[in-house]
Chains A and B, each alone.
Chain A
Amino acid sequence: MSTRLSKGGRLIDRSKSVEFTFDGKRLNGYEGDTLASALLANNQRLVGRSFKYHRPRGIVASGPEEPNALVGLGAGSKFEPNQRATTTELFAGLHSKSQNAWPSLEFDIGGINRIMSRVFPAGFYYKTFIFPRFAWKHIFEPFIRKAAGLGAAPTEKDADKYEYFYAHVDVLIIGGGSSGLAAALEVGRSGAKVLVLEQKNTWGGRAPVDGVVIDNEKSEEWINKALAELESMPNVSLKNRTMGAGVYDHGWATGYESLTDHMPSKVGPRQRLWRIRATRILTTTGAIERPLSFAGNDLPGVMLAGSVRDYIVDFGTSCGDIMVLATNNDDAYRTAIAQCEVGLKVAIILDARSNVTGELPNKARSMGIRVETGMAISKVKGSKGVSGVSICLQAGEGIPIEEIKCDVVAMSGGWSPIVHLWSHCGGKLNWDNDNAMFRPDADRPPLGADGSGFVIVGGSANGYLKADDSIKDAISQGKIVAKQVGFKPIKSKNITVDVEAEAEIEQIWQMPQGMSVKLQAKTFLDYQNDVKVSDVRLAAREGYESVEHTKRYTTLGMATDQGKLSNINGLAILADSLNAEIPNVGTTTFRPPYHPISMGSIAGDARGELFKPIRKSPIHNWIEANGGFFEPVADWRRPYCFQQNDEPVKDAVKREILNTRTNVGLLDASTLGKIIVKGPDAGKFLDMLYTNLMSNLKIGHCRYGLMCTENGFLSDDGVVARLDENTYLCHTTSGGSDRIHAWMEEWLQTEWWDWKVYTANVTEQYAQIAVVGPNSRKLLEKLGGMDVSPEALPFMRFTEGTLGGIKVRPFRISFSGELSYEIAVSASDGQAFWNICMEAGKEFGIQPYGTECLHVMRAEKGFIMIGDETDGTVIPQDLNMQWAISKKKDDFLGKRAHLRSHMSDPSRWKLVGLKTVDPNVIIPDGAYATDGKIRDSGVKNMIGRVTSTYFSPTLNRSIAMGLVEFGPDRMGEIIDFPTLDGKIIKAEICNQVFLDPEGERQNV
């Protein structure tokens, strides 16, 4: 059993007991524990069930490579599934739950899958998809859906806050172990700006656990001194609890900082996503130990040797009283030695190598530990935990020679450099056969903007696994990086590193080497996805030769740990099955993030109110306070209508239309785009931009214009006013101001850069308030200050002056067909002007109106709306707007495209008005007209569609506009609009101007 030792644990504070729960049980740990070390200290070895077979699983590792110990943390709005117990710092009140087990961890019904494991071989899902087809939908899918999945999804909105932080540095160092710190000292002393990230709360990495002596001091002392020196440097920033998550193009990297996870009572954001731009990135990320592949290697109690050592040294926690150690390298002996040093027993060391004479094995022997060479584990015994092992010859097939009682199996298949960050952006690897590992190929680095490598690897991540080599390499890489970013490394005395010598590793990919098929089926490569040696061998037999295909077929390395433990072992088995060399099989691609990061951190502060900016007009707050029912118009919010006394929206719209047509209405038109175009070539420029001729517009006059793209399609419309000889003011649609301003600048900067034109987007400089209706002139006259008579300010003119003491520029333009003034005032005075209009308008029956009223009134007048009558495929000719296309101009944007055969095809659908036969029936928006014929494809032949459709309170009937084949030639004809419920609405083709075709209402 695992338990807390009476002494030791360099990271825990035994004076501070911490209570937490696991599956409802109240347990105690110490400050400094991880959830994993605290669970082990409470003899909670069974922590979860595997994904596919629901096998009992225990803690294997002590870091982010942990495949099994995934728990649900917290509750309610703070619940988060799939958190690793090994990286979760313990705090008082921590609430954890095992996953993937039902009804309980100890008795899990899904465990039946284990018995059925013969029917879930590699590629099970793919094979089942194919045959028998019915089985998927009716048998397997419902069953798998119930059993599959990891933790439960949270059901409440995340209560935590998250944020980003953008940092720019010369050098980003990822990994704050002794090698990372040694490199940071080199770069920091050179004067370069450095940011150092360490994923754990503690610095120094494995050196203290492995008893490394640096500069004749215990490594802990050296680490503290290094940290103190780094902290004193103004050019160096240190961030612990921050994982280097991903490396991207041009020196971009992300860091995942945990701020309150270890202390939920702390105020502030829970996590911060660092978005870092670095000239060079130095990764000193260390190495991960590999499991050995022997039968029963997934039972709770089978653990990585280095991790067992971590639990003893760091947390004063024993993983078992009696250990069996299986290894193919010298480093693992440190675990056996540590086990003995705390008074626990090592039953046997099974070293697969035949010749074992290194310093560490000899030390183990001298401590009285039984060391057997050329030996292996045949099989681990036990059901929910290790109870013993049978041992065999490594060279054989696995015939048991002897049974040995134990309660923990420590295993080490050697160490793999953590090359993920090197590989994220394309860094290539070499296979180092002597040391049995992939290591970065410095000649094929990820390339940056300048074409040179921007990631550099140092220390054990670079393949220098021994502490002395690792620190030495990190220092030299630090010097190289400092030079690369333009600084001069300081000459300093060499660091001495004392550590035991290690003999060579031997490549052991399965144990024993000739294991039977039966044993293969009990030997796990990927713990989280339940992929066994037998699965990979089956994939190879079925013809999968590429590792990328095998990965997807078997799901090897596709779980949340992304194969940190399983990749190399799986690859080696595949290579062996294919009788190929490991490097020839290739590696899978490492993609960011290194370790899962929360969705919250990716979203950052863009949630709730900050999710998306909303543009607010100067009248926005008044509208909000006065019954405005908002709708989105591009990024703006505009009132659809103003609701009085809780009236329905429909009634409000009707009231606003009738009031505006009878009395006077007030519209906030501030969102309309306003762009100043000035210069000697401004007229020539606008003649290119608009289909109309604009250069002959008289000063003080307004003209409605259309803009097309180079494809000829309508893009925007609006009124242009000529302010003086060289200056025009172009109005755009509400959604079009930024786009059209960018469009103008694009042509001026990239095509006609010799034309003398300047533009300025002044959309937000002005509030624009439309005073609309028969009483509008009376209202303005009451405000006083300028002459707004038809003589002084005729239709399609503008002028400047003051109204009610406020500086204004009224335009006599109308989108409603009524007598109408659109009045521009400074945005800062917009609310004041609105207020005096509302006040003065009382006696004239003034009411504010919204966008729906605007829409209906323009449709009554047959005016088009960009986005309704146009959809990116409509040209002005389709809308019978030839009158707005100048024939005097040689060229304008879109003119050539209008000549294409499809554009000039007479059968193009053209704009008409539509009057339903039954005036109370409104045709649904977007409905298609049909002619009763059936196309070859079997669908009804469509001859047109509705673009705008409303009930007109003014005419007390339904009105619509639509595009119809040969429409203008078919006036009076009745056509069919089938609806979704199978009915047909009949409508008569008519002129699209339903109200006041002579313009008598507006020209007064």
Chain B
Amino acid sequence: MLNLTCPNCGITADETDLHCDGQAHIARSGINANDDELENYLFMRDNPKGVHFERWRHIYGCGKWFNAARCTTTLEVFGTYSAQTFTPPKALINKIKKKRPNWEGFTK
């Protein structure tokens, strides 16, 4: 049962107070997208063994979305951060690199 800290209200909440909605930082592909871009946007998702960035909503709490960086194998939470950003914060990326030297880094 995961425990994540919502950066919006500061509460460390039980997984059952939260709602996970998959991979973070997927840019919306608009009306001009070609078929491949649309397919990527709608259906294709990363499934890494290791560092992963996810979207969460504090659904039973403040109702706000946030992003979390998490290890899918050890469930270590590297950090949570604002959903209003296109890439994870630099400091967080550096922290993950320190903990996971073999990590390929944030790609998008």
A and B bind: yes
Chain A residues with CB under 8 Å of chain B are 248-252, 277, 447-451, 710-711, 742, 745-746, 749-751, 753, 890-891, 895-897, 900
Beta-carbon contact of B1 and A449 below 8 Å = no
Beta-carbon contact of B84 and A710 below 8 Å = no
Given A252, A449, A749, A890, which contacts B83 in the complex, CB threshold below 8 Å? Answer: A749
Q: Known: A449-B77, A746-B65. Contact between A710 and B42, CB under 8 A?
A: yes
Beta-carbon contact of A449 and B84 below 8 Å = no
B75's nearest neighbour on chain A, judged by CB, is A249
B55's nearest neighbour on chain A, judged by CB, is A750
B83's nearest neighbour on chain A, judged by CB, is A750
Beta-carbon contact of A449 and B42 below 8 Å = no
Q: Complex Cα distance A890/B30, Å?
A: 10
Sample of 4 further A-B pairs with CB below 8 A, known A447-B75, A711-B42, A896-B30: A277-B14, A449-B75, A451-B71, A751-B28
Chain B residues closer than 8 Å to A277, beta-carbon distance:
3, 14
Q: Complex Cα distance A249/B2, Å?
A: 6
B37's nearest neighbour on chain A, judged by CB, is A896
B16's nearest neighbour on chain A, judged by CB, is A275
Q: Known: A449-B75, A750-B65. Contact between A896 and B2, CB under 8 A?
A: no
Cβ contacts A to B, 28 pairs, < 8 Å: A249-B1, A249-B2, A250-B2, A250-B3, A252-B1, A277-B14, A447-B75, A447-B76, A448-B76, A449-B2, A449-B77, A451-B71, A451-B74, A451-B99, A710-B41, A710-B42, A711-B42, A742-B57, A745-B63, A749-B64, A749-B65, A749-B84, A750-B84, A751-B28, A891-B31, A895-B31, A896-B31, A896-B38
B33 CB–A CB distance under 8 Å? yes
Interface code B1-42, partner A: CB below 8 Å = 1, 0 otherwise?
111100000000010000001000000111101010010011
Q: Complex Cα distance A742/B59, Å?
A: 9
Q: Complex Cα distance A501/B3, Å?
A: 46
Given B14, B57, B76, which contacts A451 in the complex, CB threshold below 8 Å? Answer: B76
- Least distance between A607 CB and chain B CB atoms (Å): 19
Chain A residues closer than 8 Å to B1, beta-carbon distance:
248-250, 252
B5's nearest neighbour on chain A, judged by CB, is A449
Q: Complex Cα distance A745/B59, Å?
A: 11
Chain A residues closer than 8 Å to B65, beta-carbon distance:
745-746, 749-750
Chain A residues closer than 8 Å to B33, beta-carbon distance:
896
Chain B residues closer than 8 Å to A447, beta-carbon distance:
74-76
Beta-carbon contact of B29 and A896 below 8 Å = yes
Q: Which residues of chain B in 59-93 are interfacial with respect to chain A, using CB atoms and an 8 Å cutoff? A: 59, 63-65, 71, 74-77, 83-84
Q: Complex Cα distance A896/B33, Å?
A: 8
Residue of A251, A252, A742, A750 ringed by the most chain B CB atoms within 10 A: A750
Chain B residues with CB under 8 Å of chain A are 1-4, 14, 21, 28-31, 33, 35, 38, 41-42, 55, 57, 59, 63-65, 71, 74-77, 83-84, 99
Beta-carbon contact of B3 and A251 below 8 Å = yes
- Least distance between A915 CB and chain B CB atoms (Å): 39
A-side binding surface: helix, strand, loop or mixed? mixed
- Least distance between A408 CB and chain B CB atoms (Å): 46
Beta-carbon contact of A900 and B2 below 8 Å = no
B14's nearest neighbour on chain A, judged by CB, is A277
- Least distance between A899 CB and chain B CB atoms (Å): 8
Q: Complex Cα distance A250/B68, Å?
A: 15
Chain B residues closer than 8 Å to A449, beta-carbon distance:
2-4, 75-77
Chain B residues closer than 8 Å to A251, beta-carbon distance:
3
B32's nearest neighbour on chain A, judged by CB, is A896
A451's nearest neighbour on chain B, judged by CB, is B76
- Least distance between B17 CB and chain A CB atoms (Å): 11
Q: Complex Cα distance A753/B21, Å?
A: 18
B27's nearest neighbour on chain A, judged by CB, is A751
Residue of A249, A450, A896, A900 ringed by the most chain B CB atoms within 10 A: A896
- Least distance between B88 CB and chain A CB atoms (Å): 14
Beta-carbon contact of B30 and A891 below 8 Å = yes
Q: Complex Cα distance A183/B75, Å?
A: 28
Beta-carbon contact of A753 and B76 below 8 Å = no
Given B30, B35, B75, B83, which contacts A250 in the complex, CB threshold below 8 Å? Answer: B75
Beta-carbon contact of B42 and A746 below 8 Å = no
Q: Complex Cα distance A265/B59, Å?
A: 42
Q: Complex Cα distance A503/B104, Å?
A: 54
Q: Complex Cα distance A890/B35, Å?
A: 18
Q: Complex Cα distance A895/B1, Å?
A: 38
- Least distance between A606 CB and chain B CB atoms (Å): 13
Q: Complex Cα distance A450/B41, Å?
A: 32
Chain B residues closer than 8 Å to A742, beta-carbon distance:
57, 59
Q: Complex Cα distance A449/B3, Å?
A: 7
Q: Complex Cα distance A252/B64, Å?
A: 24
Residue of B3, B55, B71 ringed by the most chain A CB atoms within 10 A: B3
Q: Complex Cα distance A429/B76, Å?
A: 21
Chain B residues closer than 8 Å to A891, beta-carbon distance:
30-31
- Least distance between B95 CB and chain A CB atoms (Å): 11
Chain B residues closer than 8 Å to A448, beta-carbon distance:
76
- Least distance between B43 CB and chain A CB atoms (Å): 9
Beta-carbon contact of A746 and B75 below 8 Å = no
- Least distance between A409 CB and chain B CB atoms (Å): 45
Beta-carbon contact of A897 and B28 below 8 Å = no
Beta-carbon contact of A252 and B42 below 8 Å = no
Chain A residues closer than 8 Å to B77, beta-carbon distance:
449-450
Q: Complex Cα distance A248/B4, Å?
A: 15
- Least distance between B59 CB and chain A CB atoms (Å): 8
Chain A residues closer than 8 Å to B83, beta-carbon distance:
749-750, 753
Nearest 7 A/B pairs, CB to CB: A451-B76, A252-B1, A250-B3, A753-B84, A891-B31, A749-B65, A449-B77
Beta-carbon contact of A890 and B2 below 8 Å = no
B24's nearest neighbour on chain A, judged by CB, is A750
- Least distance between B100 CB and chain A CB atoms (Å): 10
Chain B residues closer than 8 Å to A745, beta-carbon distance:
63, 65
Chain A residues closer than 8 Å to B31, beta-carbon distance:
890-891, 895-896
Chain B residues closer than 8 Å to A751, beta-carbon distance:
28
- Least distance between A901 CB and chain B CB atoms (Å): 8
- Least distance between A741 CB and chain B CB atoms (Å): 9
Q: Complex Cα distance A751/B63, Å?
A: 16
Beta-carbon contact of A897 and B2 below 8 Å = no
Q: Complex Cα distance A746/B71, Å?
A: 24
- Least distance between B107 CB and chain A CB atoms (Å): 20
Q: Complex Cα distance A890/B32, Å?
A: 10
Q: Complex Cα distance A949/B42, Å?
A: 34
Beta-carbon contact of A897 and B42 below 8 Å = yes
Q: Complex Cα distance A900/B84, Å?
A: 30
A748's nearest neighbour on chain B, judged by CB, is B65
A754's nearest neighbour on chain B, judged by CB, is B84
A254's nearest neighbour on chain B, judged by CB, is B1
Q: Complex Cα distance A434/B52, Å?
A: 43
Chain A residues closer than 8 Å to B28, beta-carbon distance:
710, 751
- Least distance between B3 CB and chain A CB atoms (Å): 4
Q: Known: A746-B57, A746-B65. Contact between A900 and B75, CB under 8 A?
A: no
- Least distance between B86 CB and chain A CB atoms (Å): 11
Q: Complex Cα distance A487/B64, Å?
A: 34
B65's nearest neighbour on chain A, judged by CB, is A749
Q: Complex Cα distance A751/B77, Å?
A: 24
Chain B residues closer than 8 Å to A896, beta-carbon distance:
29-31, 33, 38
Q: Complex Cα distance A691/B4, Å?
A: 37
